[in-house]
Structure 1
């Protein structure tokens, strides 16, 4: 498997389901809390900017036993990476995700793109 570093990962999805896990899941829950702008500016915490990876809707949200969100969309919807990262796995996974691509991002978070009809990595 060839490792790549790219901000544009294109995958064609069967049902467009995406799961964002690990660090990203915790960050997602934090977005629902009010922001103290003065405190945020003084903390100097670097936050990565993320893009919405595909057309679709949240079919399953973040909760204690599901560390991420699932995005469902129309069959054949293109999916792009939420931010630049390194492909750490691309292929079939028997865990229920089927054709899957896993990325590790610079900030240590991971994104997982599963249930794809084609992998174009």
Structure 2
């Protein structure tokens, strides 16, 4: 005979965090958040455009930098230019403390994709 027990406790103290819907959200999912400072972070957001890679339709994503206001709202977001974001995966990117180097996981960057290509770590200065 098997006996299973579940215990549920009510929260007795106020929560430390308040989860809030941000007005700057779009219908597209945003992911890969990396904080640069107390009031700035980078994230990926897919566009509605699709690319054809080896007969697979893939979403094109763009990197954005967002600035957080005093109330915790996103007060400005701007697309980052100059990085081939179609190669960066959903995990996003991580930046060095001096913000001069970015690390990201991606498929090998080749003109012709090979069958055994896998995601790898990359560094860009």
TM-score (norm: length of structure 2): 0.25
Structure number with bigger Rg: 2
Structure holding more strand per residue: 2
Structure holding more helix per residue: 1
Q: Identify the structure with bigger relative contact order (alpha carbons < 8 Å, sequence gap 6+).
A: 1
